[in-house]
Each structure stands twice: as C-alpha cells, then as structure tokens.
C-alpha cells in the first residue's frame, strides 16, 4: 500500500547509488535507496528493483558509487501499485548522463473508494432529507394518522431524525451535568462536537490508510490534525454555558470547583489506565506507562479553563447595562482577570519555547530533528518541548512512535500531548470559552452572535498569517500539531469559529438541518471516545481483511466502525442514556 515498483537500469560503466527525498521533508538529507552496479556491456544494463513511496512526490538523486559525485536528479510522483523503469545512460556516447523514467504499468486510482463512499453517504443524506420533508407534509401526516389511528405515528414523525426544533435542556458539556432548570439547548454545539468526534474516531481507526487522514509528519495540516483542537474548542464553549446555567440555578462556586476537580481527575485516570496506547506494546507497567494523552490533555484544559471561568463568571447577565460606549466589549471586559491569566500562560510558553537552552541544540529550535535541517540536529526533536517532557516525565513515559518518524526518520521519543503544548491547549479551550460568552451575552440576537464569531475568525486568521508568513515551514512559528504551536491554535480556532457559524446558522437559526447524525455522538462524546478506543480490535469495528493492501477494504472497515458508533450513540439517545463523568 502506498508503494510503487521501480526498476533502475544502469547502462553506465560505473556503479550508481540511488538516493531519495520526499517533497514534504523540509531541508532534509537524502536517504539511500540502494546501489546499482555498472552495466555488463553496451546494450546490457544491470538492473535492480526497488519499492518507492507514492504518498508524495519524491526526488531521486543518482550519484557515482565510487566518488559520490552527483550524476542527475529526477523529481517524480509515483502512482500506487504502478510499475516504472528508471534508465540511466550516457547521452549520445558523451560524458553527460541522462536519467529518464518510463511507466511500464499504469497505477491504479486509489481515490475511487473515497468517491464511492462520498456518493453513498451523500445519497443517504439526500434520501433522509426527502423522506423527512415528505413525512412533514400535512397530507401525508393525515394519511398516516388514518392508517395507524394511534399516537405512535405522531411520535415517529416528531422524532429527532425529523424535528430539529424540539426544546431540551441548556447546553452542557459531557463533563458538567445538565442544569436543574429546563431551557433551550443549542443543538449546534452538540452537532459541532459530534462532527469533531466522528472525524476523530474515523482517523483513529485508520482513515482508510490515506495519508491525508493521518497526522502530518511535522509542520502543516491534514484532516487528522483538525479535530482534536475543535473538540477542545467546543468543550470551552460548553463550559461557559454550563457554569452560567449552574450559577443561575443556585449552585455555589465551591461545590462547582469540587465537581470540576473530580471530573478532571476522572478524565486523567481514564486516559492513563484504560486507553493508554502503550498497551499495544505488551503488558503495561509503570516503567513504560505513557503519562500524557488525549484525555489527559482534555482533563488539564478543562480544569484550567473551568477554574478560570468559575473565578469570573456571572450568573445573571440580564442586569448588565448596555448603554455605555464600552458595552459592545462586555463579553471580554467583564472577564479581564481570566484573559490576563491566559496571556501570562502564553508568555510562559513563548519564553520556554524560544529562550530555554536545550543541550546540543539551537535555542528556540522548532524542528523535527532526524534528517531534517540537513541532519545537523538529529537528537533535537521538538526542541524545548521535547526536553521538558524527557526531563519531567522520562523517555519511557512519553509517546515512542511520533509521526515525525514517517518522513524525518527521527529516533527520539516525542509526545504530541506533552507538557509544554498543554499551555496552548488551554488557550484553545479559552477561545472556545469566548464563543460561549458571546452566546450568553447576545442570547437570541443571532446576527450579533454570528458577526462576532466571524470577527474572531478573521482576527485569528490574520494572526496566523503573520506568524506563519503564509507558508508551511518558513514562518516565525509554523503550524505544527506535534508542538501545538501558537499558530496551530490560532489557525484551528479560526476554522472553528467559521465552522461554528455555519452549523449555528443552519441548525439553530434557520433550522434547515437537525444536526443528525452528528448530534447523537455529540451528546455522548466521552462514551463514544472511550468506547472506540477500548473496543477497537473487536468485531464489528475490525475484522480480518482479504487484502490488507487495499485502500477500499480499509476504508470500508473504518467507515463501518465509525458508523457503528454513530448508530450506538443514536440508540443511547433514544433510550435517554448518557455517560457523564
């Protein structure tokens, strides 16, 4: 999978060393693919077969095997399962070397399964929308009532699949319990959370083994890099609404603080002892227990942001004046102590990242190490972030197989959910908290809410453009999921605000969409996340495949597994079963 067959034919009278480098590898050393001996005689070249990657374009460099002098370079994007020949010969019997690639067998189109899957799910969505519309017609309702003569038809027609407007309790995250007093719940928040969670489950199951459904090796973004920050963002939004609702209901801040701490501890312990990825390496013990993780970072982000909001939150916002000139900034000015704390945390991140000395590495290094930066800093993966994790937690207690190994051939353990990056996850959750404050202050003023979401999205987008210089690798602070860099947070928060506008407008304002099917896993997010990790290896989430090198089979398996969790969450929703810790 993701490989092609390359035969190198050497007609030269000297041996040729073949090297390669991926276009996604920034300032990298070439890696040796193999050596082809000199041609046997004119017209009888020597040949060697190689397997080459097809995910990205690669550059082949051919050097003399005797003095390592460069003979030629050939950039080429190989197609999956294609057969190719690389001919190395002298041009017109001169000393000039010619290198050319010939396609012997055309590659297959590995993206057809994605197109088929998209058409199937799009067809199901269209059929569902048409069915819902037909069931909503008065004529159809009257006919069904006559046929059934019972209230069961009414229940069916007004079920959650077809009626997005039924009022339920105020939005509360899966971490805080629902408020005691009923009020309108924003389905868009659960839908947003569900979108993040469904994509997260899909990419964790393998994403059909497509490279863009895997985490980027170092700088840059793929689909897999979007969803976790969005989940953190919407958690912050729900925290704002939950705490406000509970304060309005009469809960004391001390009681809420105890619940916040206890739920953070539960999340952390579940992440460490139940879904620890080091179980894949054999029996777990304290010597190889990974301490950081996804739920651990969620626990820390929730604890920090919920405590900050508990410090400044106001239960009754309807008594605030809106006549002063500064009233349009109430959603920020009222909470300035929390903003000050977050800014101080960000200053700490900047100082540690760019000023902390790292032995044998440049100060402020943000690179992947390995063969990156021409191999000069092979042991410097992650710079200060990697150093802090190894110092505080120890090499055996952090992630052993970082995504940087794929392209940059790093050999140092590095944890993408490490200590230093957790500071920026707090910033991400706090930006989500700001979205919640906007909803609270402007309530049913949909235009004001959406305009402020777009303003925040634009502001964060501008900050990202400045930090990255609109490039992948050459900015001041590149977008990097492994580091959870500042530009990564501002970029993903920008996307989150824009996506939230779209979901809020279509689900809660216009009610064009009920939020299904994403709404259901969004209501049971902790259960779905923990469940998909614990039962990943069991049927029907995984089965023995006939061809493990087929994207189609992997994609089918991963889509079926993800769909199963959506269906499970729907059934749990119908049974009013929600797991809240």
Residues acting as catalytic residues = 215
Contacts of 217 (CB under 8 A, 6+ apart): 24, 25, 368, 403, 404, 406, 407, 408
d(CA 235, CA 173) in angstroms, rounded, equals: 6
Which of 358, 489, 356, 478 minimizes the C-alpha distance to 422?
489
3-state secondary structure of 219: strand
Q: Report yes or no: 14 and 66 within 8 Å, Cβ to Cβ.
A: yes
Count CA atoms within 13 Å of residue 100 on its CB side.
7
How many CB atoms are located within 10 Å of the residue 111 CB? Answer: 12
Contacts of 383 (CB under 8 A, 6+ apart): 353, 358, 361, 362, 364, 365, 366, 367
CA distances from 206 to 215, 484, 553 (A): 11, 22, 11
Give bridge partners of residue 62 from the DSSP assignment.
18, 72
d(CA 251, CA 249) in angstroms, rounded, equals: 6
How many CB atoms are located within 10 Å of the residue 330 CB? Answer: 17
Q: Phi/psi class of residue 470: alpha, beta or left (left: φ > 0; alpha: ψ in -120 to 50)?
A: left
Q: Report yes or no: 256 and 246 within 8 Å, Cβ to Cβ.
A: yes
CA distances from 577 to 259, 520, 532 (A): 21, 11, 17
d(CA 473, CA 27) in angstroms, rounded, equals: 10
d(CA 125, CA 386) in angstroms, rounded, equals: 45
Give 506's DSSP letter.
I
* Residue listed under structure tokens 């993701």: 2
Which of 240, 168, 238, 186 minimizes the C-alpha distance to 526?
238
Q: Report yes or no: 54 and 48 within 8 Å, Cβ to Cβ.
A: no
Q: Report yes or no: 482 and 403 within 8 Å, Cβ to Cβ.
A: yes
């Amino acid at each position: 999978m993701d490989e092609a067959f390359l035969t190198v034919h050497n007609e030269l009278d000297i041996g040729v060393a073949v090297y390669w480098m991926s276009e996604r590898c920034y300032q990298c050393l070439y890696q040796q693919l193999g050596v082809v001996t000199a041609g046997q005689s004119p017209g009888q070249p020597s040949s060697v077969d190689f397997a080459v990657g097809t995910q990205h374009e690669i550059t082949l460099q051919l050097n003399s095997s005797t003095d390592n002098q460069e003979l030629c370079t050939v950039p080429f994007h190989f197609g999956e399962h294609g057969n190719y020949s690389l001919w190395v010969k002298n041009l017109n019997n001169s000393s000039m070397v010619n290198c050319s690639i010939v396609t012997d067998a055309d590659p297959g189109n590995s993206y057809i399964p994605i197109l088929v899957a998209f058409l199937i799910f799009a067809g199901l969505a269209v059929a569902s929308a048409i069915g819902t519309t037909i069931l909503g017609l008065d004529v159809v309702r009257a006919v069904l009532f006559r046929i059934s003569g019972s209230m069961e038809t009414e229940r069916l027609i007004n079920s959650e699949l077809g009626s997005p407007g039924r009022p339920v309790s105020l939005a509360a995250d899966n971490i805080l319990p629902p408020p005691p007093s009923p009020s309108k719940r924003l389905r868009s928040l659960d839908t947003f959370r569900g979108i993040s969670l469904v994509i997260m489950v899909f990419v964790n199951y393998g994403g059909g083994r497509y490279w863009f459904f895997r985490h980027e090796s170092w700088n840059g973004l793929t689909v897999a890099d979007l969803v976790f920050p969005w989940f953190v963002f919407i958690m912050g939004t729900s925290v704002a609404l939950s705490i406000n609702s509970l304060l309005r209901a009469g809960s004391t801040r001390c009681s809420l603080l105890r619940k916040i701490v206890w739920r953070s501890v539960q999340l952390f312990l579940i992440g460490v002892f139940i879904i620890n990825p080091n179980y894949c390496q054999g029996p777990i013990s304290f010597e190889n227990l990974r301490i950081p993780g996804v739920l651990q970072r969620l626990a820390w982000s929730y604890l920090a942001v919920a405590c900050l909001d508990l410090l400044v939150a106001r239960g009754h916002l309807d008594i605030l004046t809106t006549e002063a000139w500064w009233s349009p900034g109430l959603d920020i000015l009222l909470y300035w102590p929390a903003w000050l704390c977050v800014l101080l945390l960000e200053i700490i991140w900047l100082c540690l990242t760019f000023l902390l000395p790292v032995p044998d590495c440049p100060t402020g290094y943000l690179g992947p190490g390995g063969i990156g930066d021409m191999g000069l800093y092979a042991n410097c993966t992650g710079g200060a972030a990697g150093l802090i994790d190894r110092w505080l937690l120890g090499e055996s207690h952090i992630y052993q197989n970082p995504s940087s190994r794929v392209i940059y051939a790093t050999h140092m353990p590095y944890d993408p959910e490490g200590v230093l990056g957790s500071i920026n996850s707090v910033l991400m959750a706090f930006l989500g908290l700001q979205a919640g404050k906007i909803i609270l202050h402007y309530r049913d003023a949909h235009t004001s809410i959406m305009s402020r979401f777009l303003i925040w999205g634009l502001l964060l987008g501008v900050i990202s453009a400045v930090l990255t210089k609109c490039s992948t690798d050459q900015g001041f602070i590149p977008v990097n999921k492994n580091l959870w860099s500042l530009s990564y947070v501002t970029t993903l928060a920008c996307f989150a605000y824009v996506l939230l506008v779209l979901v809020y407008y279509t689900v809660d304002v216009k009610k064009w969409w009920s939020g299904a099917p994403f709404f259901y896993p969004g209501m049971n997010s902790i259960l779905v996340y923990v469940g998909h990790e614990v039962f990943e290896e069991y049927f029907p989430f995984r089965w023995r495949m006939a061809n493990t090198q087929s994207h189609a089979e992997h994609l089918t398996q991963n889509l079926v597994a993800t769909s199963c969790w959506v269906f499970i969450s729907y059934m749990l929703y119908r049974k009013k079963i929600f797991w809240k810790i």
